[in-house]
């Protein structure tokens, strides 16, 4: 195969914006997007609430500066301030560009783009398309990429980077339709594969495919991962499934109610109430449940998200998908009765360590979006900043890769590398002696993380989790794929995803054990205070042998000094 100038791994918002921007930067480039699902089915489509931008349409006194401060404060001061400044400064431009290429934003009465309040924000600045914002943005970007001539390789599973003497030569991937391993020689590779929160199993809002594939490939290639211990739990997942109920439901005026009929957020965030930052609201709900002020049911304990006072018209026009999901998955019509909710593993603040242009330590390898850690979210992401992240940095990294691609001379990927990858896949189908089943290992991984490295963490529990993860990694060596066919071998794909999650879960647990403080989404009951003297720094995780090695990296400061974070 002729070398590509850029191979983008992932067909979500970051990957598609990067492809669109790269083609705009240099239309002569040969650009490929690999995705294990069709791009318009990528997890970006699940983003409901919206994208932040200081347009000042709803609140006339909103400014970029206020957005920057809210983001840094929301991050518990772990975000890199130069990256945050770029994120917030570029936001209005990004929203208007999406508007110009056809994104159907909801509108205010004066026909300007509508904005709603979101958690941790000082002004209503979240731009939205009802409660289907990610879906509409994704369709718009996909159309543009098709129009500009981007090559799509849909239903391809990325396996590994091809690296020789620290030089990246391209990507090796499996064609899911045929089972064949194929080479994609490339001048540059850009990872945009999304997050890894699905490792938490049934208490996760993530799609089944959010298994950290890009981070795991980079990690095994020697590229550091940053701040992996910071996993965000969204306050309002549906009780049974963990599916997301957008923060927009609270932005429109929804109440959180405990079994005593109290709006309990008055105890935890008296000023912001239900629109406190996500880490705080999640801990508050979990505390209410642990202190027996939640509701009980065969599907687990929960609290109520009450929208009934908002009225049928508002719910039908601004939250139609939430109503539909509540009816299908909980048997509850939010027009008539409250929605049962509980925190759900939602977002990965950690990821592949990059600079502000998406470059990694390996020449020619870039990352953008949730799979990257630039770091704009620090210890806790504000609602409405995730779609913004993938759009702003998708654009920036796509431009950088397009500008720099010609610096890297292409090199062939040898037939021996392809054969080795094929043999590795076949080895899962031919274990000898004792074997392990995928389903058992997958269930135990989710339970181990939820019980030991969840919302509340403590040293003895984390150590137990680390020990159990090491045991699962050993048992994985005996995993067996029972389906030996080539065509759409979903059993094989599940096993490959499990390997990625097992590798990454160790970095999450190791970072959580090392960080002896509470900051943002990382809450240690044995170290309940934030410790700026010892822990105002990023953690870096690299693979050494078959175990994680931790290092540190300073936080990039700017005009905002450390201060107490209160709401």
Active site residues: 234, 250
H or E segment to which residue 173 belongs = strand 167-175
In three-state secondary structure terms, 205 is: coil
CA dist., res. 196 & res. 228, Å (int): 10
Dihedral angle of Cα 281, 342, 44, 55, to the nearest 10 degrees? -30
CA dist., res. 524 & res. 513, Å (int): 9
Token readout for 491 is 């059993």
Query: Of 470, 482, 388, 390, whose CA–CA distance to 429 is shortest?
Result: 482
Token readout for 394 is 């998708």
Looking up tokens 């390996």, which residue turns up? 362
In three-state secondary structure terms, 179 is: coil
Query: Of 116, 203, 547, 191, whose CA–CA distance to 358 is shortest?
Result: 191
CA dist., res. 188 & res. 397, Å (int): 11
Say if strands 51-52 and 126-127 run parallel, antiparallel, or are unpaired: antiparallel
Over the range 321-359, which residues count as b (16 or more CB within 10 Å of their CB) and which as e?
Answer: bbbebbeeebebebbeebbbbbbbbbbbbbbbbbebbbb
User: From the CA atom positions of the chain, what is the Rg in Å?
Assistant: 22
Over the range 264-275, which residues count as b (16 or more CB within 10 Å of their CB) and which as e?
Answer: bbeebbeebbbb
């Amino acid at each position: 195969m002729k070398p590509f100038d850029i191979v983008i791994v992932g067909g979500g918002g970051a990957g598609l914006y990067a492809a669109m921007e790269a083609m705009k930067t240099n239309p002569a480039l040969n650009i490929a997007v690999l995705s294990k699902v069709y791009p318009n089915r990528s997890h970006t489509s699940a983003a409901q609430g919206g994208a932040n931008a200081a347009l000042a349409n709803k609140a006339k006194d909103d400014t970029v500066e206020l957005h920057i401060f809210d983001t840094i404060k929301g991050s518990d001061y772990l975000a890199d301030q130069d990256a945050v400044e770029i994120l917030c400064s570029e936001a209005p431009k990004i929203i208007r560009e999406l508007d110009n290429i056809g994104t159907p934003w909801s509108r205010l009465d004066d026909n300007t783009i509508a904005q709603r309040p979101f958690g941790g924000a000082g002004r209503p600045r979240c731009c939205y398309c009802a409660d289907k914002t990610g879906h509409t943005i994704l369709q718009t970007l996909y159309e543009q990429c098709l129009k500009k001539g981007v090559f799509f390789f849909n239903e391809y599973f990325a396996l590994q980077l091809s690296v020789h003497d620290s030089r990246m030569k391209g990507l090796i991937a499996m064609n899911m339709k045929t089972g064949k391993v194929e080479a994609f020689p490339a001048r540059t590779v850009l990872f945009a594969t999304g997050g890894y929160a699905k490792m938490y199993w049934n208490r996760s809002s993530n799609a089944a495919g959010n298994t950290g594939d890009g981070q795991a490939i980079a990690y095994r290639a020697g590229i550091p991962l940053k701040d992996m211990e910071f996993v965000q739990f969204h306050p309002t997942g549906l009780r049974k499934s963990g599916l997301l109920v957008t923060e927009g439901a609270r932005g429109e005026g929804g109440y959180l109610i405990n079994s005593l009929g109290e709006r309990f957020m008055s105890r935890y965030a008296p000023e912001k109430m239900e629109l406190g930052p996500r880490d705080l609201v999640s801990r508050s709900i979990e505390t209410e449940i642990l202190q027996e002020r939640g509701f009980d049911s065969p599907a687990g304990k929960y609290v109520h998200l009450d929208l009934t006072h908002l009225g049928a018209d508002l719910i039908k026009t601004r939250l139609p998908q939430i109503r539909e999901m509540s009816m299908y998955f909980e048997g509850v019509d939010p027009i008539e009765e409250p929605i049962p909710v509980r925190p759900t593993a939602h977002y990965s603040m950690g990821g592949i360590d990059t600079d502000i242009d998406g470059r990694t330590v390996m020449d020619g390898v870039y990352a953008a979006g949730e799979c990257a850690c630039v770091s704009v979210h620090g210890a806790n992401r504000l609602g409405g900043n995730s779609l913004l992240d993938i759009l702003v940095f998708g654009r920036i990294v796509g431009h950088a890769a397009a500008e720099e691609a010609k610096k890297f001379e292409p090199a062939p990927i040898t037939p021996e590398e392809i054969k080795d990858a094929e043999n590795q896949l076949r080895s899962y189908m031919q274990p000898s002696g004792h074997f392990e089943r995928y389903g058992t290992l997958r269930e135990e991984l989710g339970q181990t993380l939820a019980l030991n490295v969840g919302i509340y963490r403590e040293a003895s529990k984390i150590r137990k989790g680390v020990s159990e993860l090491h045991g699962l990694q050993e048992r994985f060596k005996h995993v067996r794929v029972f389906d030996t066919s080539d065509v759409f071998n979903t059993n094989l794909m599940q096993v490959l995803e499990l390997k990625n999650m097992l590798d990454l879960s160790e970095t999450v647990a190791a970072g959580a054990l090392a960080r002896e403080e509470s900051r943002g989404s990382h809450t240690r009951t044995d170290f309940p205070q934030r410790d700026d003297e010892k822990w105002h720094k990023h953690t870096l995780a690299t693979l050494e042998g078959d175990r994680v090695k931790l290092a540190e990296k300073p936080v990039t400061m700017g005009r905002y000094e450390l201060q107490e974070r209160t709401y």
